[in-house]
Amino acid sequence: MAFDFDFELLRELTETSGAPGYEDRIRNVVRRELEEEVDEIRTDAMGNVVGTIEGESNYEVAVPAHMDEIGFMVTHVNEDGFLSIDSLGGWDSRILRAQRVTVHAEDEDLTGVIGSTPPHLLDDDEDEQDVSDVYIDLGLSAEEAESRVSVGDIVTMEQTTTRVGDHVSGKALDDRVCLFAMLEAAKRIENPSVTIHFCATVQEEIGLRGAEALGVDVDPDLAVALDVTVANDIPKVKYEKDYVTRLGEGTAIKLKDGSVVTSPKVHRRMRELAAERDIEHQLEVLPSGGTDTAGFQNTHGAKPVGAISIPTRYLHTVTESAHGDDISATIDLLTAFLETETGEHDYRL
């Protein structure tokens, strides 16, 4: 059965590169998709994109989803032409071995590989643990590598996005799948009661930086953030009580994560609306990790905030996986919440 959303757009969003601070390519896709759907679109000095649909009242809602994906920056080209790198975001170095990458040099993109020591040569207790141990092999001589790559060049993982059963799997679903949900909601919204700012943010993976700036610049009355969340419903996790969310059980309404406790009156309205519209949903209590939700909650005074999450397995790898039904449910709940926001709900405690 085909997905009931634009899979090709989701594929483009996830396969397009955009590490923290260098979101240019993905920003171009977002602007292209938003321009026809909003009344005004702008980009700020950090590269955040804000597309605004004017409402009937002065009440303003911000809907942030981040554009950046975890990546690397080149720190050194050694005498044999291998590249050393520093991380941009939180990598688990165990998954980096034998991966293909793209080095975004000034004038060209170069394909490289992160190799690994053959098992024949490893001691029993030898294991690469840190990103500082990782090297990129471009297949070039030292002289050619030094002439084509510079310190500061950006590196992203090279991976295609594909359907796996009922799932979508690829790199950068964190957070491009939520960016996709935001764009799809923007296309459905017509004549809202309130003004809606669709915010594609930058540098979330290195500290919610774009959202913190927009919290001041946009200064909304309410923020509803979108991000992926942990779905650890896998054999390795022994006890169901340790699951954060499960794939296929609907969109996740966030109650808390490591950076925020969402406003009770906001998440209660989400839950009531999901039940009323028969939108499959589950509740998210994430022990650690932060999202753009926190960037809007108290950056420019106290704000009511809510968050909708897409359950995702294998986060911060190149095979992140989300269920097609959960993606659809997220789009449905976000659209319903925005369509029914009148600016008259009292979210104060």
280 is catalytic: no
**pLDDT tens, residue by residue, 72-122:** 999 999 999 999 999 999 988 788 988 999 999 999 999 999 986 655 445
Fill in the DSSP letter of residue 343: S
Structure tokens given for 48: 């955040």
Mean pLDDT of the chain: 94
Query: Which amino acid is located at 167 in the chain?
Result: H
d(CA 72, CA 139): 19
Q: How far apart are CA 137 and CA 282, in angstroms?
A: 44
Q: How many CA atoms lie within 13 A of 94 on its CB side?
A: 4
CA quadruple 330, 334, 340, 344: dihedral sign: positive
pTM: 0.94
Q: Is the pLDDT of residue 125 over 60?
A: no
Report the distance separating Cα 42 and Cα 170, nearest Å. Answer: 29
What mean pLDDT is predicted for residues 321-339?
98
Lowest pLDDT segment from 40-49, 50-59, 129-138: 129-138
Q: Which helix (DSSP H) or strand (DSSP E) does residue 102 occupy?
A: strand 99-104
| DSSP calls for 205-223 | GGTSHHHHHHHHHT--SEE
Catalytic position from the list 204, 205, 212, 341 = 204
pLDDT average, residue stretch 280-286: 97
Using the predicted structure, report yes or no on whether residue 123 has a pLDDT greater than 80. no
Residue 257 pLDDT: 95
Contact (Cβ atoms closer than 8 angstroms) between residue 198 and residue 55: no
